[in-house]
Amino acid sequence: MRILNVVGARPNFVKIAPLMREMRRRRGIEPILVHTGQHYDANMSDDFFKDLEIPVPDYNLGVGSGSHATQTARIMLAFEEVCAKERPDLVLVVGDVNSTLASALVAKKLGIRVAHVEAGLRSFDRTMPEEINRLLTDAIADYLFVTEESGLKNLRREGVGKEKVFFVGNVMIDTLVQNLGKIRDSRFAEELGLREREFVVVTLHRPTNVDSEERLRGILRALGNVRRTVIWPVHPRTRANMERFDLLSAPKKNGNLRLIEPLGYMQFLSLVARAAAVVTDSGGIQEETTYLKVPCLTLRENTERPVTMTLGTNVLVGTDPRRIAPALAAALKAKRRPRIPPLWDGHAAERIVSILLREARR
Ligand code: UD1
């Protein structure tokens, strides 16, 4: 069974690592890895391949940045050629980025089966590009691998046949479980002079938070007033906006806020695991903090990962920066007893690959 596995952006790399490992371990599968090049800076891409021991991609489509249409179209054109050359039995896509939708669409129109890992998540907010990517990918996928029960419900409501849907757990958590030893042993926080549970980690990159000058200024002000060290590895999109809005001088006025370059997987998770709390708008980090039992404040009005709120450590703060300080104070005081969601046990990739092999034999 020849499987073309597609990745493009940072969270995809974390998800594909355990799948590639499992596919290479099992007989009867020939995995081929395609990197679309949606993310290309070393600290957004190569560093993750090294940290997570992901094999060098067989193809790099080098599409780079652009408008949604430009990026999606470039991926489609280049990926169609790869499909024509490799003639895979299956294309496997992960997550909800533009690379996910573009490659699923190409494959399906060539009559190639599509597997979507992390299917069924819904924010019900169609202004988010990721929501459109999720809806469309799930509408055409042949195998839908679901991370949490809300995904099963959403797909049922959308009329997806239940023979295509498999509740398998979370491959991002597979990667976390696999690397927990290294994350716990890391001395990176110490090297930065950070003391366990005395600092807050921030990551923000969603257009709703970082593309508006007023919002971004408000967030910087709010974080500058937190009475703990705040460490913020800044996504390139966010940094570009900070430069454009001339906000980079502001944090220097207050010593508690430290803006640093994006980190590799091991360094980043080693900070998250030791943080007092995390402030984010990322999807994956809501899940990782739930597993690590670290309070997570999500600066969004909605989440497509509700289990992180019902069982985990996640709280929706909304997008008004004035809500950050009270929400943080409450999260640090709260005595929650978070639980790890069902099947987030480090074995999701094994389940997925077993199902694919079984389906191929049918
Ligand atoms: C993308 C995904 C988002 C995901 C995020 C994780 C889509 C629609 N969005 O958002 O769902 O949560 O990745 O990080 O697919 N840039 C660089 N170097 C890089 C990559 C990006 O400088 O290696 C800059 C460019 O200015 C680019 C901008 O970041 O225009 C945005 O990159 P893009 O891939 O379009 O979206 P992200 O915001 O990273």
For residue 157, give the CATH number of its domain.
Answer: 3.40.50.2000
Enclosing domain of residue 29: 2-169+344-361
User: What DSSP string runs through 46-59?
Assistant: HHHHHHTTPPPPSE
Q: Which of 39, 93, 209, 298 most suits a substitution to test ligand 1, by most atoms within 8 Å of the C-beta?
A: 39
Q: Does 40 sit in the ligand 1 pocket, CB within 6 Å?
A: yes
Closest C-alpha to ligand 1, atom 14: 10
Tell me if 113 CB under 6 Å of ligand 1.
Answer: no
Q: Is 51 in the pocket of ligand 1 (CB under 6 A)?
A: no
SS3 call for 11? helix
Q: Quick one: 207 and 321 in the same domain?
A: yes
Shared domain check, 199 and 136: no
Residues 42, 160, single domain; the answer is yes
Residue 139, ligand 1, Cβ within 6 A: no
User: Residue 146: beta bridge partners?
Assistant: 119, 167
225 and 188 housed in the same domain: yes
Query: Does 328 contact ligand 1 (Cβ within 6 A)?
Result: no
Asked whether residue 176 is assigned to any structural domain, the reply reads no
Give the distance, in angstroms, between the CA of residue 319 and the centroid of all CA atoms in the same chain: 20
Catalytic residues: 205
Residue 339 forms part of a structural domain: no
- Same domain? For 150 and 14 the reply is yes
- 7 plus 149 within the same structural domain: yes
Classify residue 310 by its DSSP letter: H
Nearest one of 316, 285, 280 to 301, comparing CA atoms = 316
Q: What is the bridge-based pairing of β-strands 199-203 and 277-280?
A: parallel
330 CA from centroid of ligand 1 (Å): 32
The preferred substitution site among 35, 38, 300 for testing ligand 1, maximizing ligand atoms within 8 Å of CB, is 38
Do residues 131 and 250 share a domain? no
Is 338 a member of any domain?
no
Q: What is the pLDDT of residue 253?
A: 54
Of all protein residues, the one whose alpha carbon is nearest to atom 35 of ligand 1 is: 65
Which helix (H) or strand (E) segment holds residue 314: the answer is strand 314-316
Sign of torsion over alpha carbons 212, 218, 220, 222: negative
pLDDT of residue 251: 53
- The predicted pLDDT at position 255 comes to 81
Measured from the CA of 99, which atom of ligand 1 is nearest? 15
C-alpha 120/C-alpha 134 separation (Å) is 7
Q: How far is the CA of 288 from the centre of ligand 1 (A)?
A: 20
Q: Is residue 317 part of a domain?
A: yes
Q: Find the 209 Cα to ligand 1 centroid distance in Å.
A: 14
- Asked if 174 and 203 count as a contact pair (C-beta separation under 8 A), the reply is no
Report pLDDT for 335.
Answer: 86
The dihedral formed by the CA atoms of 269, 270, 275 and 277, expressed in degrees to the nearest 10: 0
Query: In terms of domains, do 282 and 357 share one?
Result: no
Counted domains in the chain: 2
* Residue 175 in domain: no
CB of 130 closer than 8 Å to CB of 44: no
The owner of tokens 């419900």 is 153
CA distance 122 to 202: 24
Unique residue bearing structure tokens 């699923």? 104
Structure tokens at 111: 């009559």
The single-letter DSSP state of residue 119 is E
Residue bearing the CA closest to ligand 1, atom 15:
97
Contact 223, 260 (CB under 8 A): no
Looking at the domain assignment, is residue 7 inside a domain?
A: yes
Q: Is 292 in the pocket of ligand 1 (CB under 6 A)?
A: no
Cβ of 206 closer than 6 Å to ligand 1, yes or no, is no
Q: pLDDT below 70 — which residues of the chain? A: 250-254
Q: Decide if 177 is inside a domain.
A: no
β-bridge mates for residue 258, sequence order: 231
Going by CA atoms, what residue is nearest to atom 26 of ligand 1? 237
- Quick one: 212 exposed, middle or buried, by C-beta within 10 A (0-12, 13-18, 19+)? middle
Pocket test for ligand 1, best of 13, 97, 209 (most atoms within 8 A of CB): 97
Q: Are residues 157 and 290 both part of a single domain?
A: no
In a shared domain, residues 231 and 149: no
Residue whose Cα lies nearest atom 3 of ligand 1: it is: 97
My answer on whether 317 and 348 are in the same domain is: no
Place of tokens 């990026």: 71
d(CA 348, CA 358): 15
Q: CA nearest 318: which of 201, 156, 235, 209?
A: 209
Return the SS3 of 331: helix
User: Are 328 and 354 in a shared domain?
Assistant: no
pTM over 0.85: yes
Is 174 inside a domain boundary? Answer: no
- pLDDT at res. 249: 76
